[in-house]
Structure 1
Amino acid sequence: MELGLFRYCLGELQTQTLPGAVGFVAQLNVERGVQRRSPQNIRSVRQAFDPEQFNFNQIRPGEVLFRLHREADLPSALQQDDILVVINVSPLEWGHVLLVPEPTRGLPQRLLPGALQAGVEAVLLSSHPGFRVGFNSLGGLASVNHLHLHGYYLAHRLPVEGAPSKPLDPGGRLHLLQDLPAPGFLFYTSGPGPDLEALISRVCRATDYLADHEIAHNLFVTRGAPPGKTSSSSALTGVRVILWARKSSFGIKEGEAFNVALCELAGHLPVKTSQDFSSLTEAAALAVIRDCLLPPAQAGEVQAALVALIAKEEQ
């Protein structure tokens, strides 16, 4: 902050849990709503990287905190570049960073296995249960078309950590989260090893399908309970990866209390104005979120397609 790298001083955010069955965590963050960088001119989920637009090759050296580097002798089926850990100059919460795979490669905002593995492993490595990682696709409110994930701390439980789910395939590799405003596809891993690498491959095949079909999506990685288990804090030993397919939204929607991206779908609502923060109800939040979801028929088609992708693993 003393170096003038942030757009604003975050301070302690006013926080409330909205009354109701969902348990939304709302936070007042006026500065982010006003001072964050304007989104780029994006018109397609598959838009190519444009070096003339803002990208992470243009950030100041002081914005880079460190690199995540995999030791050469550690086993992994995935080839992985170093990952830059960069401050988000318009933070939504404490410790808000961006995980950026080697920026000089000029990768567009399309999820890749190495980037997702770095995000999931960062959650596993953190001793803080409130450290979360997420990804917004183009059309899913990504504001920069240069591959990056978000990471941040939130010291509040979220509905997605222990929400019940139903299995969508006999092997239990894909579940559908239930009792949430935005039903999401749930993938789970108990930790490093073949199980984690299988999850990475599975999730990225799902996001590839969505991108290839011009379907915007958001992804959230958090400590969570195994599918079918209780949501007590002692059960949050593994990692839940939740994927939402949604309507495309290009640009920022004015007039809404919040914009719907990765953290909002997970139940964390950064609200833009004091008036909206004081008047926001669960019903109003549900209406904003549900307006961004796919129509039921299209959602059913996506579910069937992802189940078919999972089934191919057995062939």
Structure 2
Amino acid sequence: MAAAGEEPGDPSPEDFVYGEEDFVLQAAGWEGDPGSAPSRFDRALLEGWSDRMERGLFRYRLGPLPTRVLPGPLGLLAQLNEQRGAARRPPQPVLSLRQPFDPAAFNFTRLRPAELLLRLRRAGPGPAAPDPVWVAINASPLDRGHVLLLPEPARGLPQALPAAGLRAGLEAVLLSAHPGFRLGFNGLAAGASVNHLHLHGFYLRRPLPLESAPARPLCPRRRLSLLTGVPAPAFLFFAAGPAALPALAGDVCRAAEHLRDRGLAYNVFATRGDPPAGGGGAAGRGLRVLLWPRQPRFGAEAGAGFGVAVCELAGFLPLPAAPLFRGITETQALRVIQESLLPEPQLLRLGGDLLRLLEG
């Protein structure tokens, strides 16, 4: 990343070299504050993030955010963030699922150097990556610690998820000791606001039902299941530990590419959670990775005052207005979320396609 615009005294990103010994296989309990039992990664991320907040590098100062669980069986979590709704950068227009990267549009090579927190580099055998994964502040944060993970930003890759980028993001989840550090990816026409490869990392201080809901097996050999009984049914992939991440990342990205070939958009979400059958207990938890196929949305988002991207599909609703936050019901929220989803028969047919794809 270029250092254009750097000012004297600006902080520099920290090299963060990690190995297998840094992975936290069993996260801490739900104390609420991501800094309550931090790993080395949590400390580096949160200290850098707080420093940039004090320096005024965000679009707004973030204070406590009102949060409530909507009454109803699905436990949707609503959070009021009026400043994000008003101050975030307008999304770039998306005209195609294969829209190329445009160097003339805003992209992450234009970030100020002080917005960069970390350069993630994995130690150990194998060829070194040509460029690290950068961790940058999200200038319009959802909550404390919301960052962007930028795989090889100098290459100018469009917003289509590669296996290497997903694997790096999943490893970042395992580097955190907080059970609520989540990873999200919004594809083109599925909520992505910038067509330059990036993933979101953020702390959410509450569990979500999709971490423990049981799933129906589709391809047990590839750990692929269908997760229902949640706000947005999804294809679920599961990794019991770090050794499974390369194969899992490859499978998820092959499935995502298949969706794009079929003219569908997609979102991806990763969180610590139970095995697909559910009820694994603390010792049996691993990483759940959810893949949502959806109808592409090329125009402005409609709906009841909020768009639908990876957070909303996961059951977390960052809302931009107090009346909406106070008054929205589970039924109203689900109606908006389900407008983006595929009919169940089409989802089941896709499950058969993915089964053949991954077993072939």
TM-score, scaled to structure 2: 0.82
Pick aligned residue for 2:203 from 141, 153, 167: 153
Does the CA contact (< 8 Å) of 2:166 and 2:249 recur in 1?
A: yes
Pick aligned residue for 2:350 from 291, 302, 308: 302
**1:98 partnered with 2:148:** yes
Does the CA contact (< 8 Å) of 2:185 and 2:199 recur in 1?
A: yes
**1:61 partnered with 2:117:** no
Distance apart, 1:70 and its partner CA: 1.4
**1:247 partnered with 2:302:** no
Which residue of the partner structure matches residue 44 of structure 2? none
Output the CA distance in 1 between the equivalents of 2:231 and 2:187: 20
Which residue of the partner structure matches residue 12 of structure 1? 64
Which residue of the partner structure matches residue 230 of structure 1? 279
Which residue of the partner structure matches residue 5 of structure 2? none
Pick aligned residue for 1:136 from 170, 186, 193: 186
Total equivalences in the alignment: 308
Which segment is superposed worse, 303-312 or 34-43? 303-312
* Counterpart secondary structure, 2:109: coil
Map 1:179-194; keep pairs closer than 5 Å: 179-193=229-243
Kindly provide the amino acid, as one letter, of the partner of residue 342 in structure 2. L
Distance apart, 1:236 and its partner CA: 6.5
Q: C-alpha offsets along residues 167-192 of structure 1, whole Å, 9 cap, x if unaligned?
A: 01252621000211211000000111
Q: Give the 3 Å change call, closer, same or farther, for CA 34–254 of structure 1 in structure 2.
A: farther
Does the CA contact (< 8 Å) of 1:46 and 1:212 recur in 2?
A: no
Does the CA contact (< 8 Å) of 2:240 and 2:284 recur in 1?
A: no
Which residue of the partner structure matches residue 200 of structure 1? 249
* Counterpart secondary structure, 1:207: helix
**1:37 partnered with 2:85:** no
Which residue of the partner structure matches residue 83 of structure 1? 133
Does the CA contact (< 8 Å) of 2:231 and 2:314 recur in 1?
A: no
Output the CA distance in 1 between the equivalents of 2:252 and 2:120: 21
Distance apart, 1:104 and its partner CA: 1.1
Kindly provide the amino acid, as one letter, of the partner of residue 213 in structure 1. R
Does the CA contact (< 8 Å) of 1:132 and 1:152 recur in 2?
A: yes
Which segment is superposed worse, 298-307 or 241-250? 298-307
Which segment is superposed worse, 142-151 or 288-297? 288-297
Which residue of the partner structure matches residue 108 of structure 1? 158
Structure 2 gap segments, 5+ residues each: 1-52
Does the CA contact (< 8 Å) of 1:225 and 1:235 recur in 2?
A: no
Output the CA distance in 2 between the equivalents of 1:230 and 1:274: 37
Kindly provide the amino acid, as one letter, of the partner of residue 276 in structure 2. P
* Counterpart secondary structure, 1:168: strand
Q: Give the 3 Å change call, closer, same or farther, for CA 286–255 of structure 1 in structure 2.
A: closer
Does the CA contact (< 8 Å) of 1:188 and 1:199 recur in 2?
A: yes
Pick aligned residue for 2:269 from 220, 235, 243: 220
Percent pairwise identity: 53
Distance apart, 1:137 and its partner CA: 0.3
Distance apart, 1:213 and its partner CA: 2.5
Output the CA distance in 2 between the equivalents of 1:203 and 1:273: 35
Distance apart, 1:249 and its partner CA: 1.5
Q: Give the 3 Å change call, closer, same or farther, for CA 292–299 of structure 1 in structure 2.
A: same
Output the CA distance in 1 between the equivalents of 2:101 and 2:186: 15
Output the CA distance in 2 between the equivalents of 1:24 and 1:304: 29
* Counterpart secondary structure, 2:94: coil
Output the CA distance in 1 between the equivalents of 2:249 and 2:130: 13
TM-score, scaled to structure 1: 0.93
Pick aligned residue for 1:272 from 310, 320, 327: 320
Q: Give the 3 Å change call, closer, same or farther, for CA 160–21 of structure 1 in structure 2.
A: same
* Counterpart secondary structure, 2:277: coil
Which segment is superposed worse, 61-70 or 296-305? 296-305
Does the CA contact (< 8 Å) of 1:164 and 1:227 recur in 2?
A: yes
Distance apart, 1:124 and its partner CA: 1.0
Which segment is superposed worse, 163-172 or 131-140? 163-172
Which residue of the partner structure matches residue 211 of structure 1? 260
Distance apart, 1:273 and its partner CA: 0.6
Which segment is superposed worse, 17-26 or 172-181? 172-181
Does the CA contact (< 8 Å) of 1:44 and 1:214 recur in 2?
A: no
Q: Give the 3 Å change call, closer, same or farther, for CA 79–298 of structure 1 in structure 2.
A: farther
Output the CA distance in 2 between the equivalents of 1:112 and 1:4: 33
